Structure formats: C-alpha cells, structure tokens
Structure 1
C-alpha cells in the first residue's frame, strides 16, 4: 500500500487511523515523563512533526519531489517551506545519497567509458537522423525497419518534410497495384503497412498543428451586462 504508516490486521495491511496515531503519541509522552512549564504532560499531534519529518527525510537523501508526494502537498514550495535546511544542504544531502546508492552497485556501471564506447554513443544519435525526421529508438537498440522508417511508430517527422510525406503517401497506392499485378504478395503487405504508417503520421501532424480558435473573452458586470 502507498501509505507511510500502516499495520497488520489479520492478513491485511491497513493504514493507521488518526485516532490510533494520537494514542501512540500520548502513550509515548506518558512514558517519557516530560512536562511543560506548568507541570502538565505536553500535547502533540502528528501534524506537529511535519517539519522534523521533511527535514530529516531530505537530509538523508530523499528527493524533495518525493517528500512532496508523501506529504500530500500540491506545491513544491510548501514542502520546501517545511524543511529547516538551506537549498545548498538539500543538494549536498541528495548527492551523498546517490553516492551511497552507487557504492552498493557494481563499480563497472559507473566507470569512465572508453573512447570507442563514447564514439559509438555519439554515432547512435547521428544515425537517428533520417531523411524525413528523427528516429526515437533507444540507445544501443538496432533498427529493424531497414530504412522503411515511415512504418516505425517512434519516427518523429520533421514539419518541414510534410510535403515529402504526402508525396510518399500518394505514391504508395500505385506501387501496391503494381505489386498485386505482379503477384508479389509479401511486397503488397509491406507496402500496405507503409501506407498505414504514413497516413498515421500525416494525421498526427494535422492533429497537433491545427490551431483552435477560442474566441475573445467578454467581461460581465454584476448585472449580467457586458462591459464595453
């Protein structure tokens, strides 16, 4: 369960209720024997520990945005306002946390790459550039489409190449007819896949680039009439 405080009840994991947490705090304070200036036992609520929790969590390497989710804050600024540390200390604590995590993993994962490995990494991004856009396949993954990039869902067409895509789309039906006439059934299937992929990419570009007219807003007076 995505809960910070939970307990076993039978075979289930259930969240602590606010009442149960308050009882735990009362019992803990009674055990310590602490009293306030008037000699009375101090009274705390779970909310009183919010700053201590956030400060301790971030100082031990918890990323601030994760602390924000745990605390249920809508704004990152609210979370950072709860901590009693400076931004520089937050960065240093997170770097120390990453260093501790790296120390538990094989050292080969963090070694300096060789010149050949670095050249291969740079070459990958150069090879992703194709005539009608950019291939978004992951590093070190092979291209299985053999330059038939219009079939690939990860192809990101360049807006400047839209005319080229239209030309490819308009040419494919004639090529499909030729393949059917010659009896090249495998070629027919491949060309149909290319046609569907090209149409999908043209449709995608149309959906994302068409402007929407929202009109001009009008301010209304309390009486319901429009302002000039």
Structure 2
C-alpha cells in the first residue's frame, strides 16, 4: 500500500508516495515524464514492487501533480541535470543507500544524469522513451502536442493531474524544447561516466524519439546496456506494453541489481 507524504527541498514541497517493505532492501525510484505525475504512473510502480519485492518511491517534480508550483518563468538548458541534483537531495533526506531508477522520457534523462553524477548508491538504471540528444522526431512530437493544446481538450485532461500548474507546465515544456539554442543539446559526455547497468525500452512507434537514442546510449555508456525495441508501442511502454515491461524489468533487476 502506497503511503503519501511531503518533504521539503530548497524551500519547496515535494509530494512523494512510498512502499517500504524492508529498509535493508533496495528502493526503486520512479521519475515521470514531462507532463507526468505520481498519479499518472497508475499501478505500475506497485506492480513492479510486488514482483521484485523491493521498496518503491514515486514523487512529483516541481510544478507537477501535488508538489509546489514552478518558481521559474524560463528553464535553463541544463534543467534535466538540475533535476538529478534535486533527486539526490530527496535520496539523501530519506537516507536511501541502494537505488534503482526507473525513468520515463524527461524522467529517464534525469535518471541517466543521476547515474552518471551520483554513482555511489546506484545499482542500476531503467529508462523508457529516453532523450540523450534532440531529434527532429522529438521536436515534431512537441509541435503536434502544441497544436493539440490549441485545438483539443488536452489541457483539460492534463489539468486533472496538475490543477492550476498546467499552463506553466505546458509553457516551460514547449518553449524549452523548441528554443533554437536547445537544438544542439546532448548528454553524450555526461553518460560516459555511468558505471552501473542500464536497461532501455524504446517503443517502435514512439512519437517523440527513435532507436537512435538507444544507439547513442550504447555508444557512450561503457557499462552493460540491455535494450528492447518494443513492437506496437509508442512513448509509454509501461502503459502500452505493461506486462512485457514488467517482466523484462524484473529479469534485469534480478540479474544485474541484486
């Protein structure tokens, strides 16, 4: 059963949910996507906690879900790396020492940053729909989302999870990625510092990225990298191919993160 709490980091309130089976066991930490939240993970974290028998932690990042609203009007280019720094503060505050990260999209990139920058307590990293450089497919996916925001009830659907933070959430996401000076962003240099195993899920029909993201990870990470290209799957393997994602994640954790 997930337990809800709030913790303060840098003067902001972060909404967290946890399942603590045994403090001596590893904790799987889930990092949501650019428009995601604790609630939008649905029951996937609980299911993975059940089949691995590990502890679980989920949290809403700043400006998302039930955490504090954004305190910024514009994102810096390195906002995903800064997200890893906040994650480190959360982990430190909760005294977690054996970490497995499961990140989706923006959360996946934050996870890779964390694995590279804070290696001491990381056992393994699992990512889906990850971005390590800017592809035209990513930009087109965001342009399509911008159009949907203007022509459909997308904002209304997202507001159910983010309330009055929704407008700023969309603004920062769309404006950051479509900035001309963001086009050359990548984290090739950073991920070369990853020393623990990485599992990568990529949907064959992902509207925000291609297998080139996976290839760049494999080219730059010297540690073990296991990857799956999932047929009939878009940007959300944990929802669109839930059973496959759970099973392969369990296999990976049992082999590489004991």
Question: Does the TM-score normalized on the shorter chain lie above 0.5?
Answer: no
Tell me: higher relative CO, structure 1 or 2? Use CA pairs within 8 A at least 6 residues apart: 2
Which of the two has higher C-alpha Rg? 1
TM bracket, shorter-chain basis: under 0.3
Structure 1 length as normaliser, TM-score?
Answer: 0.23
The normalised TM-score by structure 2 is 0.21
More strand per residue? 2
Higher helix share: 1
